[in-house]
Chains A and B, each alone.
Chain A
Amino acid sequence: GAGVSQSPSNKVTEKGKDVELRCDPISGHTALYWYRQSLGQGLEFLIYFQGNSAPDKSGLPSDRFSAERTGGSVSTLTIQRTQQEDSAVYLCASSHPGQGSYEQYFGPGTRLTVT
């Protein structure tokens, strides 16, 4: 079946602009995660959604970052007033904890470049 998909694959934006990154999880997966991969910080957790529960936002680096998940499926990560340090690859993952697999399936990522 289809894996996790993310769009766009690449995004170049000017400093100060807002960007939206999209993630389509695997069908039926109730948990969705966003991570950021950058040269200076490695792979960092950003936010986690599980079903209808309140999301775990503990990894969001600033209030310029927000995310939502509509209908328990597609998620959008929004970065407002982008800064150069936001340049990174943003990875989305999904899992189905109910099946006890504990495995997070990752998408190919969105490479964000802030100029």
Chain B
Amino acid sequence: AQSVTQLDSQVPVFEEAPVELRCNYSSSVSVYLFWYVQYPNQGLQLLLKYLSGSTLVKGINGFEAEFNKSQTSFHLRKPSVHISDTAEYFCAVRNTGFQKLVFGTGTRLLVSP
């Protein structure tokens, strides 16, 4: 069965500092990879996705992620965070032949001034 691991449950960072949120997945087949963000009391919003092609994927709000097949990783990065980036971030994976998303447990990003 597929699984997604987000080792960091919480990442504190100062405003304007860079950040990396880690995501590793387990799957023996081709996958699609996603990062979603959830602001307090809101639903999930897609930040970016990897389907195929270039392993570096750029998303909204200045975020990017790199797909590394050999390490089965899809880490999310931002070179300079803002207070407004404070939210919960979820990594998700989907087999190419199936529709359901398998989510990681989430990483809470806390940006302080």
Which residues of A come within 8 Å of B, CB atoms?
4, 31, 33, 35, 42-45, 48, 50, 56, 58-59, 91, 93, 95, 97, 102-109
Contacts and interface: CB of A to CB of B under 8 A. Distances in A.
Given A42-B106, A43-B90, A102-B51, A48 B43 contact: no
Contact of B43 (A4, A50, A58, A95): A4
Interface magnitude class on chain B: 20 to 34
A42 B49 contact: no
Interface of B: 32, 34, 36, 41-46, 49, 51, 90, 92, 94, 99-106
Contacts of A33: 99-101
Contact of A31 (B34, B42, B99, B106): B99
B104 A42 contact: yes
B100 A59 contact: yes
